[in-house]
């Protein structure tokens, strides 16, 4: 794990992490939004990385989970079950919650970057 890969995960919010991830050329937010984290996101691949990310962004992760549950009209517990059906450990649960939250944040960030009229991606600097 290189310093460059790890540093983007230390930003104060998940959105700022994603912006930094793309700004540093590590990967594309649109890829996370479309394909999720399971295919591999540098800096969120290993359990020690996702556990560290979870510990830093725990409150925001739970807000994203709660908002998703509310949007789906289900209880938080059912939302958690939908995210991680059979966690064998707290580490695996944290990993799956991180991936879910990062994927949702990436999707929201991509929506914000779309032109509200044409639904086309707004050019970035």
Give the model's pLDDT for residue 6: 74
| 29-57 residue pLDDT tens | 999 999 999 989 999 999 999 999 999 99
Neighbours of 100 (CB within 10 A): 21
Q: What is the pLDDT of residue 2?
A: 47
pTM of the model: 0.86
Out of 15-19, 115-119, 121-125, give the one with best mean pLDDT. Answer: 15-19
Nearest in space to 8 (alpha carbons), one of 63, 59, 57:
57
Domain annotation covers residue 119: no
Report pLDDT for 121: 56
Tell me whether residue 74 is in a domain: yes
What pLDDT was estimated at residue 119?
Answer: 60
Give pLDDT tens digits for 61-115: 999 999 999 999 999 999 999 999 989 999 999 999 999 999 999 999 999 887 6
Residue ranges of the alpha helices (H) in 2-46? 3-7, 14-23, 29-35
Q: If pLDDT is split at 50, 70 and 90, which confidence band does 60 have?
A: very high
**What does the radius of gyration of the chain's CA atoms come to, in whole angstroms?**
15
What span, in angstroms and rounded, lies between the C-alpha atoms of 29 and 33? 6
Give the structural domain span for 90: 3-112
The pLDDT, as a whole number, for residue 113 is 81
Q: How many domains does the chain have?
A: 1
């Amino acid at each position: 794990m290189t310093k460059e890969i790890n540093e983007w995960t230390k930003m104060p919010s998940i959105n700022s992490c994603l912006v930094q991830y793309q700004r540093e050329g590590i990967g594309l937010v649109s890829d996370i939004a479309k394909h999720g984290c399971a295919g591999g996101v540098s800096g969120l691949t290993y359990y020690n990385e996702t556990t560290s990310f979870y510990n830093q962004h725990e409150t925001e992760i739970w807000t994203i989970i709660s908002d998703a549950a509310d949007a789906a009209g289900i209880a938080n517990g059912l939302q958690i079950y939908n995210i991680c059906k059979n966690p064998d450990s707290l580490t695996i649960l944290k990993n799956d919650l991180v991936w879910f939250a990062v994927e949702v944040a990436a999707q929201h960030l991509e929506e914000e970057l779309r032109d509200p009229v044409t639904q086309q991606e707004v050019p970035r600097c």
